[in-house]
Structure 1
Amino acid sequence: MTALPVWFEVGSLVVLTLILVADLLLVIKRPHVPSFRESTLWVVFYIVLALVFAGLMFVIGDAEHGAQFLAGWLTEYSLSIDNLFVFVIIMARFAVPRKYQQEVLMVGIILALILRGIFILLGAQLIENFSWVFYIFGAFLLWTAYNQAFGDHEEEGGDTFLIRMLRRRLAITNDYDGIKLRTTIDGRRFFTPMLIVFVAIGTTDLIFALDSIPAIFGITQSPFIVFTANVFALMGLRQLYFLLGGLLERLEYLKYGIAFILGFIGVKLVLHAMHENELPFINGGEHIEWAPEISTWASLGVIVAAMVVATVASVAKANLDARRRGHTLGEEIPHFTEEGDRAERDESRVER
């Protein structure tokens, strides 16, 4: 696989940085709950942008570069959707007002980028100097796949030890004051619940960074492809949150599709480690030649198939359950719209 031109790598990083900064400024200057149409247009824009970038990888690099980026992007995108699911749990558990959710999501995405960037640098150095790290990555992903399939997702959005400690040690109000971390009440300074939300979001980002970086290093060892795949997977995540609305909670089989992808990549990493083996207590430190190497195209096919099957099965089951209750799926999914927020506030006033 030929190396990508330096101008392309540097130019791509500059353009991606400008897009992320523009997205951040948009949130700061125009805070609002995006409509279904607005969210759809932004999500489509970011997906098309990723596909255009993949096309450039095919043209400027080669087919292997393009396939590695696509496989890496799809893997990270699926994990980002799972990350988004936990964000939904956190937002609901801490009752974050919808008008502040855009800002919270943007902070979560920035934290995710920073943490993943750190892990990419560490992972690249480990892989370059210690090939046996693939055994550890592979075993970790297999354990993560099991936990993903059979663990409790809601625990990830729960009160961690750190959050419980913050509640005990700090004076925290019950009400939000915009996205401020501190507020003044009767001349006294208090922390707001937003501090707890940001800690929960940051902890979640750390956990998913630990999962996602070994996963994509199982597809490519190029730090540039790893980082750009992560950036494209996280871009548009904020709008995707509002687009999917209540549908995320109905994608019942999504976790199994993601677990299958993680398990598959875990096996691929172990096989790669066996093929490159240098550990003296395994096969006398010699390479295990019979260990098959799974191609990038095979990985891409497995990733796409797993996500399609999981999504279709989830939607089919959700539709079936909705019909049993005498509704359609679309009627039961709340959309995050300003009109919906106003109706919800009016309804709560009537109840009071």
Structure 2
Amino acid sequence: MTDIIEKPIQRHSETSNNSFATRHNDISALGVVDFADCNQCSRYPNRWSSIRENISAPAAEFMGAFILCLLGCGGNCQANLSANKNVSANPAGDVVTSNLSWAIGLSLGVWLSANYSGGHLNPAVTIAFATVRGFPWKKVPIYLLAQLLGALCGAGVVYATYFHAIDIVEGGSNIRTIAGSGNLFGTYAADYLTSVSAFFTEFVGSAMLITGIFMFTDKKNGPAPPGVVPVGIFFTVLGISSALGMNTGAALNPARDLGPRILTAMVGYGGAVFNFRNQYWLWCPILGPIFGMVVAAFFYDVMLYRGSESITNKPTEEAERHHLHSCAHRNKLHGAAEIV
């Protein structure tokens, strides 16, 4: 403990040897476990802790999505804006650094949020887990809202950081175009790509992402050691963006695209960001990842997954009765063995 914490505890213990602080906090003197690890105590040591219990999951989703778009959009801006000679004499990045920025952003975001919210950071991931793995549907709206706001705010910080360079590249502070800098925030299909191919690209990339997530967290498939899952996700995203990113920018995440897209509409890019290719923003970077992840999640669970939380492994009534009978019989034998 630091001196700041120890001093008031010492003063309090002088007035009451049986005080709450002495019993639970003065670990060095009494040799008891830390308050947070005490099974006999409330998990809410103060009023704020009880409030935090209810908001920690959406807060973690917000913070994780914020980190994702802060580093991802920031990597896009640094690589592309620095390529302009009027901004920088030497480029400060390229497509590789952009891909790394998104992969690092997602892995750090998952690392931060995994123990508090599950580390979804992606509406398509949340919907896939709700559809196939029993994630409560009542939690889906607040998760999606937190992810969207986190992505929007992360992109907002990036824009505030780079708007001077954007002014130079665009040719003025009152000029904002998709081709000039808008595509550094939202994702837009290449000119040569058909609408079907754009949707298919997002579908396949997103299917690969959820497969990677399921693969790394499958306890019956050589699961990654604790804390290593974000590293696996890093390589998954890096591989997808390096192999499939050219066509659409590899959104793979409705919040990652919609949040920054809303930001660009707010700061001067206007309705063009939503009118691009007849509402491209809806059917490609939103519906593409959702359908891709739900289909791939269902396929993984049907063919491979054996965990009880999957809808594909829900036991029949007969299997349920057999399980209860077996457990009762085993407990009876165990009790008899203890008596002997």
Normalised by the length of structure 1, the TM-score is 0.27
